[in-house]
Amino acid sequence: MTVAPGGAAYVGERAELLAQVALARFSGLDVHPSKSDSGYDLLAATPEGKCFLVIVKGFSSIKLKINSIETIQELRWRIDRKVFEWARSCPNPVYLFLIDADTGHGRYLQLNNVPIPAASGEVQTIRLPAENTIDEPGMKRLLAQL
């Protein structure tokens, strides 16, 4: 199912707050909001010094009239080619956190590993599978990949 930005004004702000809460639930992670327009929204660091960057995007399941968002096996989101190029140039992993601002359900995907779309396509659809849910098991998998 393809989800899109939009909805009430609260969507972007609430999505970022929910991402911060999800990251803070895991002991030992330090979470820092970006202080500038640097291409990412959050920086997370482990006690061992491993860091990753998070780009947060939000949507409204109410506006999209989606019930039981957590049962959908694959969410799709459209992303600009420049985001992929930027993620590939980063020395640290870059994750997209896609969060439903209405239910708090979220998914993640590491963007450094996604193939950059051909020059003719400026926007690419990415797929966020259910196993990449932003919950305790999903976040343990994310952290194990660092």
The pLDDT value given to residue 93 = 97
Reading the block at residue 113, the tokens are 């590993």
Confidence of residue 120 (pLDDT cuts 50, 70, 90): low
What fold is seen in the domain 10-144?
Answer: Trna Endonuclease; Chain: A, domain 1 (3.40.1350)
Share of the chain above pLDDT 90, in %: 62
Rounded to an integer, the average pLDDT of 113-134 is 83
Confidence of residue 2 (pLDDT cuts 50, 70, 90): confident
Residue type, 41: D
Residue 42 Cα distances to 15, 34, 85, angstroms: 12, 5, 18
SS3 per-residue string spanning 59-118: ECCCCCCCCCHHHCCEEEEEEEHHHHHHHHHCCCCEEEEEEECCCCCEEEEECCCCCCCC
pLDDT tens by residue, 78-94: 998 889 889 999 999 99
Higher-confidence residue of 34 and 28: namely: 34
- CA torsion through residues 69, 70, 73, 79, sign: positive
Q: Does the pLDDT of residue 129 top 90, yes or no? A: yes
Nearest of 56, 73, 58 to residue 133 by alpha carbon: 73
pLDDT tens by residue, 53-70: 999 999 999 988 999 999
The pLDDT value given to residue 25 = 85
